Structure 1
Amino acid sequence: MKREEFIKSLADTLKVDAKLLATELNKENDIKFELPKLNLFTDKELSTRDENIKKVGYDEGVTVGFDRSAKKIKEISGVEIEGKDITKIVGAIVSKANTEAKVEPDAKLQEALNSITKLQGTISTLEGERDKAVGDFNSFKQRQTILAAIPQNTVGLSNETVLSEMQAQGYSFTEEGVHLNGNLVKDDKMQNPVPMVDVFNQFMTDKNWLKKSRPGRGGDDTTGSKPVNYDQFVKQCEKDGINPAGEEGIARAKELAKDNPEFYN
């Protein structure tokens, strides 16, 4: 090896400046050069040291990982036990599973079925009450509509009495129309259902109960030809598609009331 190469290799090993080292080595007097304190390892010693470091790090990592795993297992399983001994943790998990297994599955299922049956009964009862309430309301609304269509009579009978008398004689009322002894009342010409107001007018005329309207402008004394009170007027407006509170409806009401002082009674 050449001198220069040796000096450079030596300087690298000693971790010193190669030029300074060469200068000192070339002096004939004593060398005044302090060498740094170094820990030197052979390749085998260095390899052994590295392996030991790796082993220590691995062991520490395993310990930390093991501790974390033990904690996680306890959290997931829901067991409460002190320490990180896996054997004890597993034993606690098995014990917990055996305790829970003592509850009969059939008993749990039967309890759920009983709850469902009870809930179904409650729902059925509520639906029945709802349907009855709706039916009662619809019946009440229909009866009020029928009573409002009855013309004013001359003998002082209430609308309830007139309706009861008609029902006693076989009349009934549905959304389809008025029925007599189960048969829909129809006109002779077109076989269309007779309007409820006209049925009332005819029935009360036959009974001599109907108050005749006074002749109006272009009118006559015939009963049932036009509304004789405000209730009949409202029904006629509904039939004709007119708003009784609108301009045309108000005008009609004034015209009818002009020659009928009892129109609004």
Structure 2
Amino acid sequence: MENLQSRLDETEANSELSKRSLSPTRSSRLNVSGSSISSHSGSERKRSSSRTSSGKNVKSSNDITSASKIFRNLLILEDDLRHQAHRQKILKWEFTLFLSSLAGVAGFAFYELYFTHEAIVGFYRFILQFLLLFIAVTVALFHLGGEYKRTIVIPRRFFTSTNKGIRQFNVKLVKVHSTWNEQFTDLVRFVSRNVAFINIYILTKTLRLSESNALVTFWRSVTIRSQPRIGAVDVKLVLNPRAFSAEVREGWEIYRDEFWAREGARRRKTRL
């Protein structure tokens, strides 16, 4: 996984350089045209107005800098919570599938032993009884050892427990519900990307074709064009409307969308 914090540092450094290059020079700001002799009242008014404008500029600059730092920390927190939610989701589905498989095998063995019309005897009956006993002991130890709570209950309550912990920061982690078009597009990208990886492996490892071959180049371009969506596509942090104004919440949404748009373009360029 690429370092999000280093990417944020580079982005902020580039934006700071662009601001400095676009800002007027000190000499141009201090350049005053006109007569060398002016009245005392006129000079005082100019000084007061310049002090007022410079104070406003410093204040607005500090506000922008502080807001950028807050948004940067929110983006790092959101990305970390996104990875945690993804790991908890995978953990829950893996052990749910595991328990479902045990339940299916136990149900089949129980049906074969007690509900079939033909009598089950011999080694086959011993195997079925052993399977029932083994599954019963496994499920009992799975619950008594706390693995059921760690792998099923805690991942299921991840959003509730997380939001209780970050409530003091006036933020909330919510799920992003994708539309049918987005889900279909994600499925097409997933299939295309895996088919491209398989074809590249066959062409380069089995057929021993070079990287400059037209087919290899084509399938590599397919992998680039079918990269998964990044950013706030599954979970995201939302600011509490009672603690933050509409301008701040809109600025946070814009900051996040712009960063992930630039990051997605950068990743596609690095894979070219």
What TM-score bracket applies, with the shorter chain setting the length?
under 0.3
Which of structures 1 and 2 has the larger relative contact order (alpha carbons within 8 angstroms, sep 6+)? 2
| Higher helix residue share | 2
Q: TM-score, normalised to structure 2's length?
A: 0.23
